[in-house]
Structure 1
């Protein structure tokens, strides 16, 4: 199943750096580094470089999706 998140990262390698994350999400690299520091997006620090696994990032993005509201109205008896 393919969705908008897959389309956003179509053609990307299995891992990308913070500048690529910033470009895909339309934010600055500074914002991405802040998210990395705060643990908001999954990544691995290798030496002085951050590596973001594309599939892990897509999972986090999907988990934060706001969906259509569900009908949670109570029924009266």
Structure 2
């Protein structure tokens, strides 16, 4: 998914995330964002995407990611990496 030049609205996000389960995998994020595996894991590890790691498993809530996309839609459209969320552990 290329975000640059995209008009993101709530209905679009609902449709985009509707086919995914409540708990996403890093592979789901690769598909949703069109990012490489390395970039997805870097975003997870640095707290850019809201998620928690328990041992080797990433817990990624679909609705939190959807909200995150909405909050960062302007940054994503510009092709920039959103800031890491400092509230993440």
Aligned length: 65
Q: Which of the pair has the greater relative contact order for Cα pairs under 8 Å at 6+ separation?
A: 2
Alignment match of 2:70 (pick from 39, 55, 62): 62
Deviation by residue 1:17-62 (Cα, 9 ceiling, x = unmatched): 1111111111112111000111001111122011210000001100
List 4+ stretches of structure 1 deviating above 2 A. Answer: none
Partner of 2:42: 34
Structure 1 residue ranges without an equivalent (≥5)? 67-77
Larger Rg: 1
Structure 2 residue ranges without an equivalent (≥5)? 1-9, 75-89
Give RMSD over aligned pairs: 1.2
Residue 18 in 1 paired to residue 36 in 2?
A: no
Q: Do the aligned residues in 2 keep the contact of 1:18 with 1:51 (CA within 8 Å)?
A: no
TM-score (norm 1): 0.76
**Counterpart Cα distance in 2 of 1:54 and 1:65:** 16
Partner of 2:56: 48
Q: Is the helix fraction higher in 1 or 2? A: 2
